[in-house]
Amino acid sequence: MEARLQNPAMILEATQPIQEMYKAVYSGGVSKTTLDLVHLRASQINGCSSCVDSGARDARKAGESEERLFAVAAWRETSCFTDAERAALELAEAATRLSDRSDPVPDDVWERAAAHYDDKGLAALTLMVALTNLFNRLNVTTRQIAGAWG
């Protein structure tokens, strides 16, 4: 497999503004662990091998266990996630699978997340999902190679 094109954000010199958005995400009060899980789950749904690979590597470096990383795809069927992490993963799935239902992010999904996160936290989760989906679409479209970034 070979990449079709270098990452478009790099070609168009958009990486700095994107990094500023990531800074904003990490200022929202949501743990890095939870944000890593959200990134990984959205990337799994979108089939972005580059982001699944880099997301799992980053989470592992930050201390995440192999057990939890392997369980992200089946988070509903495992007991290794907190209620807050489950709410974040559920929100990530809904916000990633927008065309799967007529009400893409139902009130009950939002309310479960809001029970654990304040407005800044909800903003951080939402922005993380949006940024992950942005990178998933860039990487999948241009066929970025998993592991090619180090």
Q: Rg of the chain's alpha carbons, rounded to an integer?
A: 15
120, 149 contact by CB (below 8 A): no
The whole-model pTM stands at 0.92
Per-residue pLDDT tens for 39-67? 999 999 999 999 999 999 999 999 999 99
pLDDT by residue (tens digit) across 77-93? 999 999 999 999 999 99
Which runs of consecutive H residues, i.e. helices, occur in 27-147? 32-46, 49-61, 66-71, 83-96, 107-114, 119-142
Which domains, from first to last, does the chain contain? Answer: 17-142 (1.20.1290.10)
